[in-house]
């Protein structure tokens, strides 16, 4: 069994109104030090390791289903100690 974590975040050039609202609320609640907040999605997926093409299929699913590549980037994190692999 293999666990994959997927992190989807708005691209840096894309406005994040939800993040801005949270930033403003944090400032209002006494944290003027908060410069910015970005809000995204986090998913954990448990898989059976059976196929050597698993990573390419996962990237395809991230691109086509779990993220909107026009406005979002995704990262795949395989196993607890795996290195981050950021989309381009």
CATH classification of the domain holding 49? 3.30.1280.10
Q: Is the pTM for the entire model greater than 0.85?
A: no
Domain total of the chain: 1
What's the chain's average pLDDT? 89
Domain range for 60 is 2-86
Place 67 in a pLDDT band, splitting at 50, 70 and 90. very high
DSSP single-letter state for residue 14? S
SS3 80: coil
pLDDT at 40 over 50: yes
Place 65 in a pLDDT band, splitting at 50, 70 and 90. very high
pLDDT at 82 over 60: no
Higher-scoring residue by pLDDT: 88, 32: 32
SS3 5: strand
């Amino acid at each position: 069994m293999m666990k994959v974590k997927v992190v989807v975040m708005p691209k840096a050039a894309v406005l994040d109104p939800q993040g801005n609202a949270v930033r403003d609320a944090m400032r209002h609640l006494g944290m003027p030090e908060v410069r910015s907040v970005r809000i995204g999605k986090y998913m954990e997926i448990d898989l059976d390791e059976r196929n050597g093409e698993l990573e390419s299929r996962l990237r395809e699913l991230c691109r086509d289903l779990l993220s909107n590549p026009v406005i979002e980037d995704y990262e795949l994190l395989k196993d607890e100690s795996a290195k981050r692999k950021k989309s381009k």
